Protein backbone atom coordinates (compact mmCIF):
# COMPACT_ATOMS: atom_id res chain seq x y z
CA UNK A 1 0.00 0.00 0.00
CA UNK A 2 1.29 3.47 -0.91
CA UNK A 3 1.54 6.19 1.74
CA UNK A 4 -1.96 6.56 3.16
CA UNK A 5 -3.80 9.81 2.45
CA UNK A 6 -5.81 9.32 5.63
CA UNK A 7 -4.27 7.93 8.80
CA UNK A 8 -6.48 7.36 11.84
CA UNK A 9 -5.09 6.06 15.13
CA UNK A 10 -7.10 5.18 18.22
CA UNK A 11 -9.82 7.74 17.45
CA UNK A 12 -12.28 8.19 20.33
CA UNK A 13 -15.36 10.32 20.70
CA UNK A 14 -18.11 10.42 23.32
CA UNK A 15 -21.26 12.47 23.63
CA UNK A 16 -21.68 12.74 27.36
CA UNK A 17 -21.77 9.20 28.73
CA UNK A 18 -22.30 7.71 25.27
CA UNK A 19 -19.11 6.33 23.72
CA UNK A 20 -19.68 6.67 20.00
CA UNK A 21 -16.19 5.92 18.67
CA UNK A 22 -14.17 3.49 20.78
CA UNK A 23 -10.73 3.42 19.26
CA UNK A 24 -10.79 3.49 15.46
CA UNK A 25 -7.67 2.52 13.51
CA UNK A 26 -7.86 3.05 9.80
CA UNK A 27 -5.64 3.89 6.83
CA UNK A 28 -7.00 4.94 3.47
CA UNK A 29 -4.81 4.89 0.38
CA UNK A 30 -4.94 7.65 -2.24
CA UNK A 31 -7.63 6.83 -4.77
CA UNK A 32 -9.15 4.14 -2.58
CA UNK A 33 -12.92 3.68 -2.39
CA UNK A 34 -13.76 2.74 1.18
CA UNK A 35 -17.32 1.64 1.86
CA UNK A 36 -18.54 1.92 5.45
CA UNK A 37 -21.55 -0.09 6.54
CA UNK A 38 -23.12 -0.76 9.91
CA UNK A 39 -26.31 -0.36 11.89
CA UNK A 40 -27.76 3.05 12.66
CA UNK A 41 -26.04 4.63 15.66
CA UNK A 42 -22.82 2.67 15.21
CA UNK A 43 -20.78 5.85 14.72
CA UNK A 44 -20.40 6.01 10.93
CA UNK A 45 -21.40 9.66 10.61
CA UNK A 46 -19.35 10.64 13.63
CA UNK A 47 -16.30 8.98 12.08
CA UNK A 48 -16.71 10.97 8.85
CA UNK A 49 -17.41 14.17 10.78
CA UNK A 50 -14.20 13.75 12.76
CA UNK A 51 -12.28 13.85 9.48
CA UNK A 52 -13.17 17.48 8.77
CA UNK A 53 -13.61 18.40 12.40
CA UNK A 54 -17.33 18.97 12.37
CA UNK A 55 -16.84 16.91 15.52
CA UNK A 56 -13.80 17.33 17.72
CA UNK A 57 -12.40 13.92 18.73
CA UNK A 58 -11.71 13.30 22.42
CA UNK A 59 -8.55 11.33 21.77
CA UNK A 60 -6.52 9.79 19.00
CA UNK A 61 -4.61 10.97 15.99
CA UNK A 62 -5.89 11.90 12.53
CA UNK A 63 -3.63 12.89 9.66
CA UNK A 64 -4.86 13.88 6.23
CA UNK A 65 -2.44 14.08 3.32
CA UNK A 66 0.40 14.46 5.81
CA UNK A 67 -1.31 17.27 7.74
CA UNK A 68 -2.15 16.43 11.37
CA UNK A 69 -5.70 17.36 12.27
CA UNK A 70 -5.32 19.37 15.46
CA UNK A 71 -6.38 22.65 16.99
CA UNK A 72 -4.35 24.68 14.52
CA UNK A 73 -6.53 26.94 12.40
CA UNK A 74 -4.15 26.79 9.46
CA UNK A 75 -4.21 23.01 9.35
CA UNK A 76 -7.97 23.00 9.69
CA UNK A 77 -8.42 25.41 6.80
CA UNK A 78 -6.10 23.32 4.61
CA UNK A 79 -7.87 20.12 5.52
CA UNK A 80 -11.38 21.50 5.03
CA UNK A 81 -10.32 22.55 1.55
CA UNK A 82 -8.98 19.06 0.79
CA UNK A 83 -11.94 17.14 2.14
CA UNK A 84 -15.34 17.50 0.50
CA UNK A 85 -18.47 16.29 2.24
CA UNK A 86 -21.94 15.40 1.01
CA UNK A 87 -24.76 15.05 3.52
CA UNK A 88 -27.86 12.90 3.72
CA UNK A 89 -30.13 15.94 3.70
CA UNK A 90 -28.26 17.84 0.94
CA UNK A 91 -28.00 21.05 3.00
CA UNK A 92 -28.03 23.28 -0.06
CA UNK A 93 -28.22 26.99 0.65
CA UNK A 94 -31.88 27.79 -0.13
CA UNK A 95 -31.33 31.49 -0.78
CA UNK A 96 -28.80 30.81 -3.55
CA UNK A 97 -29.25 29.35 -7.04
CA UNK A 98 -27.56 26.08 -7.98
CA UNK A 99 -24.77 28.05 -9.65
CA UNK A 100 -24.31 30.32 -6.63
CA UNK A 101 -24.33 27.34 -4.26
CA UNK A 102 -21.46 25.76 -6.15
CA UNK A 103 -19.55 29.02 -6.67
CA UNK A 104 -19.72 30.14 -3.03
CA UNK A 105 -16.79 28.07 -1.74
CA UNK A 106 -14.38 29.02 -4.56
CA UNK A 107 -15.39 32.67 -4.20
CA UNK A 108 -15.03 32.97 -0.44
CA UNK A 109 -12.36 30.40 0.38
CA UNK A 110 -10.27 30.34 -2.80
CA UNK A 111 -10.90 34.07 -3.37
CA UNK A 112 -11.72 33.57 -7.06
CA UNK A 113 -13.44 36.50 -8.76
CA UNK A 114 -17.16 35.87 -9.22
CA UNK A 115 -16.95 35.17 -12.98
CA UNK A 116 -14.16 32.64 -12.55
CA UNK A 117 -15.94 30.93 -9.66
CA UNK A 118 -19.16 30.76 -11.65
CA UNK A 119 -17.32 29.35 -14.66
CA UNK A 120 -15.96 26.57 -12.44
CA UNK A 121 -19.44 26.03 -11.02
CA UNK A 122 -21.01 25.83 -14.46
CA UNK A 123 -18.50 23.22 -15.63
CA UNK A 124 -19.23 21.08 -12.58
CA UNK A 125 -22.99 21.41 -12.84
CA UNK A 126 -22.76 20.30 -16.48
CA UNK A 127 -20.67 17.36 -15.37
CA UNK A 128 -23.38 16.20 -12.93
CA UNK A 129 -26.01 16.62 -15.64
CA UNK A 130 -27.57 19.88 -14.48
CA UNK A 131 -26.68 22.22 -17.34
CA UNK A 132 -30.35 23.20 -17.55
CA UNK A 133 -30.65 24.08 -13.87
CA UNK A 134 -27.86 26.61 -13.31
CA UNK A 135 -30.20 29.36 -12.20
CA UNK A 136 -32.75 27.25 -10.35
CA UNK A 137 -33.25 27.58 -6.61
CA UNK A 138 -32.95 24.37 -4.56
CA UNK A 139 -36.66 24.25 -3.68
CA UNK A 140 -37.53 23.91 -7.36
CA UNK A 141 -35.23 20.90 -7.81
CA UNK A 142 -35.96 17.24 -7.14
CA UNK A 143 -34.09 15.47 -4.33
CA UNK A 144 -31.80 13.75 -6.81
CA UNK A 145 -31.02 17.04 -8.51
CA UNK A 146 -30.37 18.76 -5.19
CA UNK A 147 -27.97 16.02 -4.16
CA UNK A 148 -26.11 16.32 -7.45
CA UNK A 149 -25.77 20.08 -6.86
CA UNK A 150 -24.41 19.25 -3.39
CA UNK A 151 -21.81 16.93 -4.93
CA UNK A 152 -20.83 19.63 -7.43
CA UNK A 153 -20.58 22.12 -4.56
CA UNK A 154 -18.14 19.88 -2.71
CA UNK A 155 -16.14 19.20 -5.89
CA UNK A 156 -15.80 22.93 -6.57
CA UNK A 157 -13.21 23.15 -3.81
CA UNK A 158 -11.15 20.64 -5.79
CA UNK A 159 -10.84 18.23 -2.86
CA UNK A 160 -8.58 15.19 -2.76
CA UNK A 161 -11.02 13.24 -0.63
CA UNK A 162 -14.80 13.05 -0.74
CA UNK A 163 -16.94 11.92 2.19
CA UNK A 164 -20.44 10.65 1.41
CA UNK A 165 -22.77 10.20 4.39
CA UNK A 166 -25.81 8.15 3.31
CA UNK A 167 -26.33 10.50 0.41
CA UNK A 168 -29.16 8.50 -1.13
CA UNK A 169 -31.09 7.69 2.06
CA UNK A 170 -33.36 10.72 1.85
CA UNK A 171 -34.19 10.16 -1.84
CA UNK A 172 -37.21 8.62 -3.46
CA UNK A 173 -36.13 5.18 -4.75
CA UNK A 174 -36.46 6.18 -8.39
CA UNK A 175 -34.02 9.08 -7.90
CA UNK A 176 -31.25 7.06 -6.27
CA UNK A 177 -29.56 5.88 -9.46
CA UNK A 178 -28.86 9.36 -10.82
CA UNK A 179 -26.84 10.19 -7.73
CA UNK A 180 -25.06 6.83 -7.71
CA UNK A 181 -24.24 7.39 -11.37
CA UNK A 182 -22.41 10.62 -10.53
CA UNK A 183 -20.52 8.85 -7.73
CA UNK A 184 -19.59 5.99 -10.04
CA UNK A 185 -18.14 8.46 -12.51
CA UNK A 186 -16.18 10.16 -9.74
CA UNK A 187 -14.84 6.80 -8.62
CA UNK A 188 -13.63 6.07 -12.14
CA UNK A 189 -11.75 9.36 -12.19
CA UNK A 190 -9.69 8.17 -9.24
CA UNK A 191 -11.13 10.25 -6.40
CA UNK A 192 -10.45 9.00 -2.88
CA UNK A 193 -13.92 8.27 -1.50
CA UNK A 194 -15.32 7.28 1.90
CA UNK A 195 -18.85 6.12 1.35
CA UNK A 196 -21.29 5.43 4.17
CA UNK A 197 -24.21 3.69 2.54
CA UNK A 198 -26.98 1.14 2.81
CA UNK A 199 -26.81 0.60 -0.96
CA UNK A 200 -24.83 -2.61 -0.48
CA UNK A 201 -24.75 -3.64 -4.10
CA UNK A 202 -23.47 -0.26 -5.19
CA UNK A 203 -20.88 -0.44 -2.41
CA UNK A 204 -19.73 -3.85 -3.56
CA UNK A 205 -19.44 -2.61 -7.13
CA UNK A 206 -17.41 0.59 -6.61
CA UNK A 207 -15.70 -0.24 -3.31
CA UNK A 208 -12.10 -1.42 -3.04
CA UNK A 209 -12.63 -2.23 0.61
CA UNK A 210 -15.55 -2.47 2.97
CA UNK A 211 -15.62 -1.99 6.72
CA UNK A 212 -18.40 -3.00 9.06
CA UNK A 213 -18.87 -0.78 12.12
CA UNK A 214 -20.77 -1.71 15.23
CA UNK A 215 -21.01 0.18 18.51
CA UNK A 216 -18.08 2.46 17.77
CA UNK A 217 -15.63 -0.16 16.55
CA UNK A 218 -14.58 -1.61 13.22
CA UNK A 219 -15.64 -5.24 13.59
CA UNK A 220 -14.69 -6.50 10.18
CA UNK A 221 -13.03 -5.33 7.01
CA UNK A 222 -12.29 -6.87 3.67
CA UNK A 223 -12.96 -6.91 -0.03
CA UNK A 224 -16.62 -5.92 -0.47
CA UNK A 225 -17.76 -8.88 -2.56
CA UNK A 226 -15.95 -11.27 -0.27
CA UNK A 227 -17.54 -9.70 2.79
CA UNK A 228 -21.02 -9.92 1.32
CA UNK A 229 -20.51 -13.52 0.26
CA UNK A 230 -19.00 -14.78 3.50
CA UNK A 231 -19.11 -12.35 6.42
CA UNK A 232 -16.86 -13.55 9.24
CA UNK A 233 -18.30 -11.86 12.28
CA UNK A 234 -21.76 -12.99 13.43
CA UNK A 235 -22.89 -9.37 13.82
CA UNK A 236 -21.85 -8.59 10.25
CA UNK A 237 -23.78 -11.63 9.11
CA UNK A 238 -26.87 -10.58 11.08
CA UNK A 239 -26.66 -7.02 9.74
CA UNK A 240 -26.29 -8.12 6.13
CA UNK A 241 -29.09 -10.65 6.43
CA UNK A 242 -31.41 -7.99 7.77
CA UNK A 243 -30.38 -5.56 5.02
CA UNK A 244 -30.53 -7.95 2.10
CA UNK A 245 -33.69 -9.65 3.37
Ligand X SMILES: Nc1ncnc2c1ncn2[C@@H]1O[C@H](COP(=O)(O)OP(=O)(O)O)[C@@H](O)[C@H]1O
Binding footprint of Mg ion on the chain (CB under 5 A):
45
Q: For residue 45, state whether it binds ligand X (rule: CB under 6 A).
A: yes
Binder among 40, 74, 95, 244 for another protein (CB under 8 A): 95
Binder among 29, 67, 81, 175 for another protein (CB under 8 A): 81
CA distance 139 to 135: 12
Torsion of CA 80, 83, 88, 93, to 10 degrees: 50
Q: For residue 42, state whether it binds ligand X (rule: CB under 6 A).
A: yes
Please list every residue from 7 through 66 that binds another protein, using CB under 8 A. 52, 54
Burial category of 87 from C-beta neighbours within 10 Å (exposed 0-12, middle 13-18, buried 19 and up): buried
Residue (169 or 230) nearer to Mg ion, CB = 169
Burial category of 234 from C-beta neighbours within 10 Å (exposed 0-12, middle 13-18, buried 19 and up): exposed
Question: Least distance to another protein from the beta carbon of 158, Å?
Answer: 11
Number of residues that bind ligand X (CB under 6 A): 11
127 contact partners, CB below 8 Å, separation of at least 6: 152, 155
Q: For residue 94, state whether it binds another protein (rule: CB under 8 A).
A: yes
Q: For residue 224, state whether it binds another protein (rule: CB under 8 A).
A: no
Q: For residue 44, state whether it binds ligand X (rule: CB under 6 A).
A: yes
Amino acid sequence: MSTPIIRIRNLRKSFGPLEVLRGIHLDVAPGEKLVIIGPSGSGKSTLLRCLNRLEIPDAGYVEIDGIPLDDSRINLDRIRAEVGMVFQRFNLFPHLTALENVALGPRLVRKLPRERAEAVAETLLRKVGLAEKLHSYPETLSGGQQQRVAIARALAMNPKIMLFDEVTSALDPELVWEVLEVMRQLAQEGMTMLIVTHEIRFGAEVGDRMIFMDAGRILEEGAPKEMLRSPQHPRTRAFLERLLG
